[in-house]
Structures are given as C-alpha cells and as structure tokens.
Amino acid sequence: MAHLMHNLLVKTKIEGGIATLTLARPDQANALSEAMLGALETALQQVETDGTTRVIIIAAEGKIFCAGHDLAEMRTHNDEAYFDQLFARCSRLMLSIRSTTKPVIAQVQGAAVAAGCQLVASCDLAYAADHAKFGVNGINLGLFCSTPAVALSRAVPPRQALELLLTGDLINASRACELGLVNAVVPAAELSAYVLKVATTIASKQADAVSLGKRLFWQQLQQDETVAYENASNCMATNIGLAETQNRIDAFLAKHK
C-alpha cells in the first residue's frame, strides 16, 4: 500500500520499500530555493527514519530536473554571511544523501545544471532520460560552481569535471553516461519503470548489509588503500556476523550440498 506525505515542494510516496521524493516546483524549474532545500532535507530525514523504506528515489516534475540555486531569491540578498549560510545548508543536504543508510537514486527526466547537477552527482546511482542535459554553467554568469565541483569531481574524472566547470558547456545524457555521472540512459517514456526496476532489485536485498556496504564504499574511496582494506575487512567481519546473513549462507550451503 502506498504511503503519501504531502509537501508543496517535495512530494513523498512510499510503496514496496521504495520512497520516491519528487521535486514539485516545475514552474520555477525545481530550483533549490531556501524552502526547497528545507523541504528536501526534511523529506530525506523522514524516509531515513521510516522503517519500511529501503531505497530512495529523487525525481522531479516538469521538463527540468533541477536548475540549481534560485538566482532570483539569491539576488534579494547582498551580504556574505547570508551566502555562507545558504551554501553551507546546500552542502549539508548533499552530504546527507551520502550519509543516509539507504541507497539514493536520481531519476533525471530533464536538465540538471549547477546545483542540480551537484544533486545528481551526490546520489549513489543516477539514471537519465535520453534527452536530459547536464552542466555546471555558473561560470557563464561569472560564478564558478565551487560547491557543485565537490560532488562532480568525485563522480567524473577531475579534468573532465574542470572542463565543464570552466567552459559552462552542457553535455547530453550519453556523454554524462560515458563520464560516469549517470549509470544508464533510457528513453524518456521508460525512465520511471527502469529506475523502479533497479530500486526494486536493491530493495529486495538484505537491508543491513546494504547499509553497511554503502557506508563503507564511500568511506574507503577517500582513504589510503591500506586503511581502506583494513576498514573493509572490519566491515565484512561485522556483516558476516549478522544473523540474517548467517541464515542466508546456511540456506545456500544446504541447497548446494
């Protein structure tokens, strides 16, 4: 049975262990206004604590996935303290996607630019419609996308990330897939079904093993190889000690005697 949570900016639907958070500000290109940042952060916190949720999908209404920060709102302010707070808040949101115990999948039906591209790069997995476009084009307005650069440079090769940051060029979905920004590109009409299939597959796996694995995966990428192996070994030792894991192994062994 579907469980719906209503918010004017982010709609939440929980069904079959999958929580879909839909950005619902299409008339403003789903820009990350202060209110949108708060709504998305709250929605993520809610599904993180929801015991039925195993996978999170971030989707969007309209033709554009996310146009980045709300420039019109930003221009109503002119003090550095405000912008420090705004970008710190956005960074906290992006980090919360990585720190949540559940895999987060971006379902990109349209353009994802600037902080919208950052949002895609911050997710664990991403799938795009064939007409989607991606870019960090703040430089075209004289604003280097420094915070989006953090997520982007961890999702694609550094020189490719820097080229996008310096030129402000948009790339198509196929090129984004080649670079590793998205996992796959599918026809727009098939995107929702494709992402749901991936999410359903992940949701069928052992939740505590997935949670341990996600945390270790992102952690070890930032570590020296020796330290990474040490932490990975500890993670696997914890994982194999889980009761459900032991039951699954025993069942496998019994079946293949």
What is the per-residue pLDDT across 121-176, written as a single tens digit (0 to 9) for each? 999 999 999 999 999 999 999 999 999 999 999 999 999 999 999 999 999 999 99
CB 65 within 8 A of CB 135: no
Distances (CA, A) of 215 to 89, 97, 254: 22, 11, 31
Q: Residue 143: its pLDDT value, please? A: 94
pLDDT tens column, 22-77: 999 999 999 999 999 999 999 999 999 999 999 999 999 999 999 999 999 999 99
In a shared domain, residues 197 and 241: no
Q: What pLDDT, in 10s, does the model give residues 213-237?
A: 999 999 999 999 999 999 999 999 9
Total domains, the chain = 2
Out of 203, 228, 247, pick the residue that ends a domain: 203
Q: Give the whole-angstrom CA distance, residue 198 versus residue 107.
A: 11
For CA atoms 164, 123, 9, 18, give the dihedral sign: positive
C-alpha closest to that of 148 among 181, 108, 100: 181
Query: What tokens does 127 get?
Result: 């799938």
One domain for residues 89 and 176: yes
One domain for residues 211 and 197: no
The answer for 40, left when phi > 0, alpha when psi is -120 to 50, beta otherwise, is alpha
Asked if residue 192 and residue 226 are part of one domain, the reply reads: no
Task: Supply the range of the domain harboring residue 71.
Answer: 3-203
